[in-house]
């Protein structure tokens, strides 16, 4: 029996709704497999927890999490209770940083059955590889009141190590896929860090002469995500550029509610963390209409990471069949509830398993 120790943090808002849905899917595939078991430990760390305890997580939180094989997170953020920079800084960003989850992998592809807001979308299938530990998200800087004005400085910190490792990851991925890599730059205007980003790109590219590479300014690239996303495959970007590109990726797929993500620890010292691209969506929380697909596709990425690619593929096929059948939440033009969508995904998984799709499991 393969046992997976899973730390589950539903978090805030719709995180509390979509995480249990994705867990139902994980339980389904574990049953089908027969030799796989998830031991879930759920932690109530959230903005509500902050209100009660004055912190987002207990002092031994990282010790507890470090004992698991993976972390499965919903979303954090309830601005009515706690300021975002406190809630996100005290949980999501802290885990990413302390557990050296230096790469954030965010696929954006047109799924079967989805309607893109682009009027003439060609099939696109890309993966954004976002630097996840430094860059514009550094905590270096500060605030000065000099009696006349207020000045706030945020230093973007790019290390040779950090940039090289995200480039290596992206080149390797491009090599496994179509052999095409796009880098998001801004070396025409951001004078220190982005020329450095380009230099490292060019240096690392020497080892990957088989990978075709293009370097595009982030402003133009954002437009190309709308006008010709099918020309992109692997896209490597700094922390902030990658953050923004991945919401555009979600939008052109049809909804940010379906966009998945994986925060990857590369050195094996700490668990990786799986959380969708979207946030806690306070505007729809409690209505039962949150799209569970972002969280469920994220669970698929976690299955792949845990070496269960066949089960992962089954989950994505079941998602696509559900969309194709028109079982959709309102954010993607449907009338179904969150639960109906998950139920259909689960019955599609079970049917496929019965019909013998999983030959080698
Ligand atoms: P958001 O992603 O929560 O919502 C943006 C829009 O997308 C909203 O209209 C929302 O209803 C919709 N949406 C998002 N997920 C959806 C889903 N699964 N189904 C249907 N519709 C969905 O972004 P925001 O409004 O900027 O942020 C809300 C809160 O979430 C803030 O506190 C923010 O800081 C936080 N946030 C957290 C994370 C995270 O934990 N990873 C990510 C982004 C934002
Ligand atoms: C994301 C989110 C986070 C980020 C925020 C909530 C800190 O937008 O995961 O995309 O900027 O990384
Ligand atoms: Mn984001």
Q: Confidence class of residue 358 from pLDDT cuts 50, 70 and 90?
A: low
Of 334, 318, 338, 315, the residue nearest 326 (C-alpha) = 334
**Considering all CA atoms of the chain, what is the largest pairwise distance in Å, rounded to the nearest integer?**
73
CA of 59 to the centre of ligand 3 (A): 26
Q: What is the pLDDT of residues 170-202, one digit of tens each?
A: 999 999 999 999 999 999 999 899 999 999 999
Q: What is the pLDDT of residues 223-238, one digit of tens each?
A: 999 999 999 999 999 9
Report the distance separating Cα 303 and Cα 291, nearest Å.
20
Mutation test residue for ligand 1: of 10, 72, 73, 77, the one with most atoms within 8 Å of CB: 77
Q: What's the mean pLDDT when you consider all of the chain? A: 97
Of 237, 167, 247, 178, the residue nearest 207 (C-alpha) = 167
| CB distance 107 to ligand 1 below 6 Å | no
How far are the Cα atoms of 2, 21, 97, 165, 350 from residue 347, in angstroms, in the given order?
A: 24, 13, 38, 41, 5
Domains of the chain: 1-104+259-361 (3.40.718.10), 116-253 (3.40.718.10)
- 117 strand-pairing partners: none
Mutation test residue for ligand 1: of 79, 92, 256, the one with most atoms within 8 Å of CB: 256
Beta strand extents in 33-88 (DSSP E only): 36-42, 70-75
| CB distance 276 to ligand 1 below 6 Å | no
Report the distance separating Cα 129 and Cα 142, nearest Å.
29
DSSP 98-154: HTTEEEEEEEEE--TT---SSSSPPP-EEEEEEE-SSBTT---EEEEE-SS-EEEEE
| CB distance 293 to ligand 1 below 6 Å | no
Of 64, 6, 7, 70, the residue nearest 265 (C-alpha) = 70
- 109 strand-pairing partners: 125
Mutation test residue for ligand 1: of 279, 328, 331, the one with most atoms within 8 Å of CB: 279
pLDDT higher than 80, residue 9:
yes
pLDDT at residue 357, as a whole number: 63
Beta-carbon-side half-sphere exposure of residue 174 (alpha carbons within 13 Å): 27
User: pLDDT over 90 for what percent of the chain?
Assistant: 96
| CB distance 84 to ligand 1 below 6 Å | yes
pLDDT at residue 223, as a whole number: 98
pLDDT higher than 80, residue 359:
no
Ligand that comes closest to the CA of residue 275: 1
Residues listed for the chain = 361
Q: What is the pLDDT of residues 112-149, one digit of tens each?
A: 999 999 998 999 999 999 999 999 999 999 999 989 99
| CB distance 278 to ligand 1 below 6 Å | yes
The residues, any chain, with a CB within 8 Å of residue 98's CB and separated by 6 or more, are 62, 270
CA of 207 to the centre of ligand 2 (A): 32
CA of 243 to the centre of ligand 2 (A): 7
ipTM over 0.90: yes
| CB distance 273 to ligand 1 below 6 Å | no
Mutation test residue for ligand 2: of 279, 282, 294, 298, the one with most atoms within 8 Å of CB: 279
| CB distance 91 to ligand 1 below 6 Å | no
Q: What is the pLDDT of residues 143-175, one digit of tens each?
A: 999 899 999 999 999 999 999 999 999 999 999
| CB distance 279 to ligand 1 below 6 Å | yes
What is the CB < 6 Å shell around ligand 2? 88, 92-93, 243, 277, 279
Q: What is the pLDDT of residues 52-62, one digit of tens each?
A: 999 999 999 99
Report the distance separating Cα 236 and Cα 131, nearest Å.
8
């Amino acid at each position: 029996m393969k046992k997976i120790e899973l730390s589950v943090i539903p978090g805030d808002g719709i995180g509390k709704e979509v995480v249990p849905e994705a867990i139902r899917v994980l339980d389904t595939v574990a049953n089908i497999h027969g030799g796989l078991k998830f031991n879930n430990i759920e932690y109530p760390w959230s903005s509500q927890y902050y209100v009660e305890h004055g912190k987002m997580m207990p002092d031994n939180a990282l010790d507890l999490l470090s004992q698991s094989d993976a972390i499965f997170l919903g979303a954090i953020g309830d601005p009515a209770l706690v300021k975002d920079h406190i809630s996100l800084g005290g949980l999501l960003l802290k885990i990413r940083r302390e557990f050296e989850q230096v790469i954030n992998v965010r696929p954006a592809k047109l799924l079967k059955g989805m309607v893109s807001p682009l009027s003439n979308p060609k099939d696109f299938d890309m993966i954004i590889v976002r630097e996840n530990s430094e860059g514009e998200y550094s905590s270096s800087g500060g605030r000065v009141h000099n009696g006349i004005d207020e000045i706030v400085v945020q230093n973007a910190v790019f290390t040779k190590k950090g940039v090289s490792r995200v480039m290596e990851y992206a080149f390797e991925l491009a090599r496994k896929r179509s052999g095409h890599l796009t880098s998001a730059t801004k070396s025409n205007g951001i004078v220190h860090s982005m020329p450095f980003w380009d230099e490292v790109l060019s240096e690392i590219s020497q080892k990957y002469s088989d990978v075709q590479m293009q370097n595009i300014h982030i402003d133009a690239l954002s437009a190309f995500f709308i006008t010709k996303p099918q020309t992109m495959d692997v896209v490597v970007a700094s922390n902030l550029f990658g953050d923004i590109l991945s919401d555009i990726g979600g939008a052109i797929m049809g909804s940010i509610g379906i966009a998945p993500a994986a925060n990857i620890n590369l050195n094996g010292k700490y668990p990786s963390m799986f959380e969708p691209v979207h946030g806690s969506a306070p505007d729809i929380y409690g209505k039962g209409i949150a799209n569970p697909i972002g969280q469920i596709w994220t669970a698929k990425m976690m299955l792949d990471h845990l070496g269960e690619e066949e089960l992962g593929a089954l989950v994505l096929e079941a998602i696509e069949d559900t969309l194709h059948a028109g079982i959709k939440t309102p954010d993607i033009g449907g009338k179904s509830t969150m639960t109906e969508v998950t139920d259909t995904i689960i019955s599609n998984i079970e049917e496929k398993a019965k019909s013998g799709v999983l030959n080698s499991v």
